[in-house]
Structures are given as structure tokens and as C-alpha cells.
Amino acid sequence: MNKMMKYAVLILLLCAIVQPAVMAQDSSNAQGEVPATVPADSNKARNNSDNRIYALAMRYNDASVAKIKLYELMERNPNNLSYPETLASLYFEMEQYGSSALVALDILERNDKSLVGLEVAAFSLEQLGALERALPHFESLHLLSGDLFSLYKTSYLQYSLKKYEEALNSVNMLIKDKKAAEQNLNFPREDNTMQEVSMVAAAQNLKGLIYKDQGSAAEARTAFEEALALNPEFELAKENLAGL
């Protein structure tokens, strides 16, 4: 989710470098009046100032000041969703999952197609253990963006919630998607390091777990073996196969 979060932050950083605009007047009039600058108490001037302070606070790792400025920008610009999206992302990065979930859910009430809102809501609710509530946000995120990791998360949550038929449908969609072969996921090793495996191998391993829970040992074995054919050193698939 980092790409979309960083994109939301980038919007504000770009705004931060914008200088207060000049209110154009007719410079060619007979009096030769000098164009006036934006009044210091105008909304635009305050927005520019708050955006600059927000950017500095983020640069200096002062999240408390950054949050205050985002709240002020949200209050002054209630129709601009980029500010609550950035706040939700900031709360998530700070691991304040309750706050990030609440902000994201409020965003989705106003725009149910906000990718940042869906992403933050899905991952925050998952972190809070609210898997049933997280699941539809992962599903929507995949449908709207085509993101395959969201599809993998969808299938894993369906498996965790014992929605086995739905999980199989999702995992089979992932296995059939040609783009999945080009993407990788990280899994922990026994020595606490991380191991990178292809998303298709991860999907086959998950498929094996689904079949195992359903009591279909033969199908589970086939799926684990498929995972190992793709990534022979996939430790988790090896353990799952040995455990049948």
C-alpha cells in the first residue's frame, strides 16, 4: 500500500512548494496600479502556509505537527479528500490502526471508490483482527485497481474465515492471471529471515491449505507440489507438504 500512500503525501508536498498566488489586476490601466498579493487571511494563503508547515513537519519527522496541520486543512477544505486520505495514511504508518481505520471509513462514506480509503481500511481492520470487515474492502480494492496482492489477501482472508469455496475461486483466479507469475511475495523462514517466492507459488500453497482444511489430502498434496515446482526452496510449502 505504500505506493498509494506516498502518492497522497506527494500531492501535499507539491502543494507545499506553491507560492501564494498573485491576484491579477489590470496592469495596463491608466493609474498603473501594482497587482495586490493574496490577503494573508485568505483561505488560499492559509492553505499554502499549512501545506508548507506540513511538509516541514514530515521532513523533520514531527508527526504531531503534521497531523494538526492536516486537521486544519480538512476543516478549511471539507470537500478535498486528499487531506483525510493523507491523514489516514499517516495514522497507518504510525501503527495507530484504530485511528487510521476510522478516518478511512469516513472517507469511504463520502467516496466508496477512494483507493487510499479502501487500502487503509482493509489493512487497518485486518491489523485490528476485524477480518470480516476487512474482507469486502480488499475485494473492492482488487475490483477497482486490479491489484493482485489485494486478490491474494482476499483469498487468504476467505480461507481464514472458512469461506472455502469463495477462497478457492479467488485463488484460482490468481493462479490463472498471467501477471501473477511476474510478482513475488515474502514469507518468513525458520531463521527469521524473509524468503521471496512467486505469487503463483504462494497461491498454490494457499490452495493446498484450503484443501487440507476441507479434508482433501490428495488435492492438497498436488497443490503443495505445484508450489514447490515453481519455487523448490519454498520452506512453508515444504512444511505443509510434510505435514500431510
Give the pLDDT means over successive 10-residue stretches in the chain (244 positions). 46 41 36 49 91 97 97 97 98 98 98 98 98 98 97 98 98 96 93 94 98 97 97 96 95
Q: How far is CA 39 from CA 14, 43, 70, 76, in A?
A: 22, 9, 22, 16
217 contacts 227 by C-beta, under 8 angstroms: no
84 contacts 103 by C-beta, under 8 angstroms: yes
What pLDDT score does 113 carry? 97
What pLDDT score does 155 carry? 98
Cell numbers describing residue 99: 485511528
What pLDDT score does 65 carry? 98
* Other CB atoms within 10 Å distance of the CB of residue 43: 11
Three-state SS at 24:
coil
* DSSP per-residue codes, 194-234: EEEEEHHHHHHHHHHHHHHHTT-HHHHHHHHHHHHHH-TT-
